[in-house]
Amino acid sequence: MNTIFVLVNRNRKLFFRDKGMLISALITPLILIVLYGTFLANVYKDSFRSSLPAAFTVADKLINGAVAAQLAAGLLAVSCVTVTFCVNLTMIQDRANGTRKDFNVSPVKRPVLYLGYFFATVLNSLMVNGLALICCFIYMEGMGCYLSGTDVLWLLVDIVILVLFGSSLSGIICYPLKTQGQMSAVGTVVSAGYGFLCGAYMPIANFGSGLQKVLSFIPSTYGTSLLKNHMLRGVFEEMRASGFPEEVVKGIADSLDCNPVFQGKKVTTEAMLLIMVLSTVVFMVVYLILTNCQEKE
């Protein structure tokens, strides 16, 4: 256990010492906030207004709050996973600069070595996404915030689970990589495509029925929905208190992927949480199996 602690501490120090890696990890959520607030906010507002009956008069604060909550949930859904790929560069750098050769002749066992990479990735990613969450709270406070203390606690749980999910996924994908160029290529592909696959950039409800069925088998879809449910719960309660019919509130929730469907059945938040936890456990087991395999140097 002490060896893992030393390795985690060593990998975390390397992450903070590498200014390029640190800045790229920190700037990712900030870029997403700017892009979301600049380009997607108006699109979401127009979509939200168009989904309401013509006779409804809705306060701007409520609309802005709904849009801000949706943007924040999408941003965190992407950031919690993509940041782990930036942070996990330490594992690739050790291979690229020959440091792994020193570890290979040391008494440190391979699973222990890779657990050091994994836990360092988790801790550093939690730090970055914690800062992203604070930025989201500041943005939501300016736009219209309807979060309760319970919602905030659930959001923290969601972020921890998603970071564990992203860290195990990035560990599996990054394990065979040996150069920083390969890592950069993988990181670019993940950053560009993950937001669409998990429904962060555009609600999956807007996709075709065939694509919706395919995406319903991807665990990250439910991670995004978890964040949206906890971000928007207060907004939906305010809608009901403002006189919105339950059918209208449900229709808005459906359009924002808060009520995902799998094989024709609605997936509850408890089931989403279970899916994410089980998926994370499976990925971690696969990661541990891979790290026990013999490497070709």
Tokens of 10: 């060593």
- Residue 51 is predicted with a pLDDT of 67
* Class of residue 273 by CB neighbours under 10 A (exposed 0-12, middle 13-18, buried 19+): middle
pLDDT in tens, 192-225: 788 788 887 778 877 888 888 888 898 989 999 9
Q: Does 134 map to a domain? A: yes
- Residue 206 is predicted with a pLDDT of 78
CA dist., res. 190 & res. 71, Å (int): 19
The letter for the amino acid at 36 is Y
Closest CA to 287 of 160, 121, 132: 121
Of 30-34, 110-114, 275-279, where does the model show the most confidence? 275-279
The predicted model gives 100-119 an average pLDDT of 81
- Residue 174 is predicted with a pLDDT of 86
Q: Does 133 map to a domain? A: yes
pLDDT band at 112 (very low <50, low <70, confident <90, very high): confident
* Predicted confidence (pLDDT) at residue 296 exceeds the cutoff of 60: no
* Predicted confidence (pLDDT) at residue 24 exceeds the cutoff of 70: no
What are the two backbone dihedrals, phi and then psi, of residue 26, each rounded to the nearest 5 degrees?
-75, -35
Please give the residue that has the higher pLDDT: either 46 or 62. Answer: 62
* Predicted confidence (pLDDT) at residue 241 exceeds the cutoff of 70: yes
- Residue 283 is predicted with a pLDDT of 95
- Residue 286 is predicted with a pLDDT of 94
Closest CA to 222 of 137, 156, 182, 279: 279
Q: Does 296 map to a domain? A: no
The string of DSSP codes covering 159-219 is HHHHHHHHHHHHHHHHTT--SHHHHHHHHHHHHHHHHHHTTSSS-GGGS-HHHHHHHTT-H
The predicted model gives 7-18 an average pLDDT of 82
Based on the structure, what is the number of domains in the chain? 1
pLDDT band at 162 (very low <50, low <70, confident <90, very high): very high
Q: Does 83 map to a domain? A: yes
* Predicted confidence (pLDDT) at residue 285 exceeds the cutoff of 90: yes
| DSSP letter, residue 38 | I
CA dist., res. 44 & res. 32, Å (int): 15
The predicted model gives 225-253 an average pLDDT of 89
- Residue 19 is predicted with a pLDDT of 67
Q: Does 254 map to a domain? A: yes
Least confident of 106-115, 215-224, 247-256, 263-272: 106-115
Q: Does 80 map to a domain? A: yes
* Predicted confidence (pLDDT) at residue 8 exceeds the cutoff of 70: yes
CA dist., res. 36 & res. 45, Å (int): 12
The predicted model gives 221-241 an average pLDDT of 92
The string of DSSP codes covering 104-124 is HTSS--HHHHHHHHHHHHHHH
What are the two backbone dihedrals, phi and then psi, of residue 146, each rounded to the nearest 5 degrees?
-125, 25
Mean pLDDT across the chain: 84
- Residue 198 is predicted with a pLDDT of 84
Q: How much of the chain is helix, strand and coil, in % rounded to 5?
A: 80, 0, 20
Strand partners, 145: none
pLDDT band at 118 (very low <50, low <70, confident <90, very high): very high
| Rounded alpha-carbon distances, angstroms, from residue 97 to 18, 100, 188 | 14, 8, 22
Range of the domain at 206: 2-291
The letter for the amino acid at 202 is M
Q: Does 179 map to a domain? A: yes
How does strand 261-262 pair with strand 265-266? Answer: antiparallel
Q: Does 297 map to a domain? A: no
